[in-house]
Amino acid sequence: MSPPPDSASPADTGTLDLRRAHAIEADAICRSLGTDPQVGLSDEQVASNRARYGSNALEARDATPWWRALAAQFADPLVYLLLGALAISLVLWVLDGGEHLPFDAIAIAAIVVLNAVIGFVQESRAEQAVAALQQLNAGRAVVRRNNTEVDIASDEVVVGDLLILGEGDAVAADARIMIPAGIQTLEAPLTGESTPIPKDERSVPSETPVADRSNMVFSGTSLAA
């Protein structure tokens, strides 16, 4: 069952802080969200939860032009300091007659350029990672609503939905496992772990790291075949 996003507060869902869904019994989560574990959400509940928590989609944003992203790497106090040192070094070189190569100035310029290139590459990779995650979330999901299994677009999943997952299925949203199913998930996109991760429905301590929350499945991962 998909819990609310991390931005939700404990008061949003009664007395339970569902940001800690891994540490809460599944039936308590159902009661808090008003989800019938056999029937799923009603149409009215779906509409209400969508209005309350939003859609199951990453916020879209326009891509930053490459030249602007590169220029932003120079907007840093340390870079300003280095550019000032570069200017002083060049002035001293000119006053000294400029007979030899300005090695100090060249070294400072190389540091500034290298820093900008590294920052630009890291930012580009981060944007590519977000775009890849958005594509992963652009698939389909099967949920139980009104006692019927329904195939929907993954961005139509709402908090409190009962996700129906089978072998090889992509996980459309972060969710708490409700029943013992002996499943394994492939979490390489999330943790880098290449081997399937066993999952079960048992609660784990609240402080358990994300990668060790054995009763949760996560958006962008999939069930092992």
Q: What CA–CA distance (Å, rounded) separates 170 from 164? A: 11
Residue 38 has pLDDT above 90, yes or no: yes
pLDDT value of residue 15 = 59
Distance of CA 90 to the CA centre of its chain: 46
Helix (H, G, I), strand (E, B) or coil at 141: strand
Q: Which amino acid does the sequence have at 220? A: G
Check: CATH 2.70.150.10 for 10-57+137-223? yes
DSSP tag of 211 = G
Report pLDDT for 60: 63
Domain extents in the chain: 10-57+137-223, 66-135
Q: 171: left (phi > 0), else alpha (psi -120 to 50), else beta?
A: beta
Closest by CA position to 91, among listed 81, 80, 102, 99: 102
Q: Given this model, what pLDDT does residue 192 score?
A: 82
Tell whether the model's pLDDT for residue 8 goes beyond 60: no
pLDDT at 4 over 70: no
Condensed to tens digits (0 to 9), the pLDDT of residues 127-151 reads 777 677 666 555 889 999 999 999 9
pLDDT of 7: 41
pLDDT digits (tens, 9 = 90+) for 167-213: 989 999 999 999 888 899 999 888 888 899 999 999 999 999 998 99
For 82-129, how does the pLDDT look when each residue is reduced to its tens digit (9 = 90+)? 999 999 999 999 888 877 889 999 999 999 999 999 999 998 888 777
Q: How many Cβ atoms are within 10 Å of 122's Cβ, its own excluded?
A: 11
Other C-beta atoms within 10 Å of 91: how many? Answer: 11
